Structure 1
């Protein structure tokens, strides 16, 4: 998926040249901006929670800039490694590398520069613990998930999703300079959220994954079993989200939101499971309903994390 709405040219086509706008959009697209938005949404609210109020604006800016570079770097390396399968999948074949707007070598340099900048920004303007956690997240995403797990096991996104949980830790350490149980709980919320979120999307694009031999759970298991596991992870996710209340001694606002949002999410998960009864037809299962609901759930839950200390302190 490209970052801009207009189709970009394929440089393999005779007589086709990319404009400056195409190239800039291609480099931005390599960083997967929508993924960055989601990661920052789990970073900044945790900073408010850790500060028990409004954190320093300069600290927030430095953390956001460093986090953006970090997530962008990991995404670029992922795009380079996966360019062979991205070219064959409907969901990804319009990315920069399959369209030959950017060469693999140039993308690697771009990813490395973003990684170095991220480490320097976080290290010098936030703290070195946050910088180290960011490097660890990137290394896990690229070396463990992308290069080892993704093409070998149905548990790829379960364990590979650990990389996407680190922003909760980074947001906390950016403010406090140390780890504690509260960000670990939020880390686990994102960990248990990732399978329902990703498997719902993978149900929609299971033929794409099957065609490139990526063993996502919906490729190797019937929709009914996928939905069953989505329900199980959803229950654990909601229970974990509520556990933040006693662990971190939150006010009343966060647990109230966690219960309401969790109940809505569980209803959506159970509805998905019910729709898989006796069918594999995507038009009847409608997995994208849960996918979009999962984005809204995580966004609102972390907004509640940020608001709670502001109205209940």
Structure 2
């Protein structure tokens, strides 16, 4: 589309900006509470709400408290939450068997939420990092993160989550072929309606640091994840990954991190028209919160501006730790 603009003074583009009502009439992008997914960390215990030091305002919650948070989200109109387990080193193993244990933190939380807050959609994380003694998203054999055995494990993990009642499976591991394998397994097991939101363009980013603290992976991780997560310099590769995952049965696709990769979001939406999401990751959240706490920025305005940026870039929605705060502002 080529804009048509009369010459000045016939066209004074400030005319449409002179009042809140006029700005609202011509606003191109809208943000609503229905665009938000709230990531929540679940841990062992009972009655626990444990602060994550590197993410001010974010808590690790025991299952009973996760149910309370799910009710809060539903009452605010947030349509979905995403569960991430916190595991200590004592809970991690080489074989990662906890990942598909029907009674692990995530699966117990899914069942508890479905019993008490059935109206909210539950998304899960599918990757081995929170159960792996090495902190990697896949099995480590002789220093290599091996692909095909990892995919077999991810299928078991996804099936356990679907059996528990998950609505959306979120493979975040970046192994080749895992979307097709998970989709086939879900179909075979009778979970035809379980959706897959693929972390299809997940970059090897430095913005994940606080998250690894939140799930207990920082101390466990050996090496880096550059052999399976994307090179931050690449854009065309993201389109190849998106096309592959859509062809393998992904219902929706994800870009991670968020704000530093809005160009990727825009390219994906324009190229495929598929439901496209971004994850406003822990480092993005922590930077805004830290600047707010130091009085350097207006935290609420920056929060809302950053969320609007995702919508302007073409995203259907965003995973954000700001979800409850944003929802409250959007309701006023």
Q: TM-score normalised to the size of structure 2?
A: 0.29
More strand per residue: 2
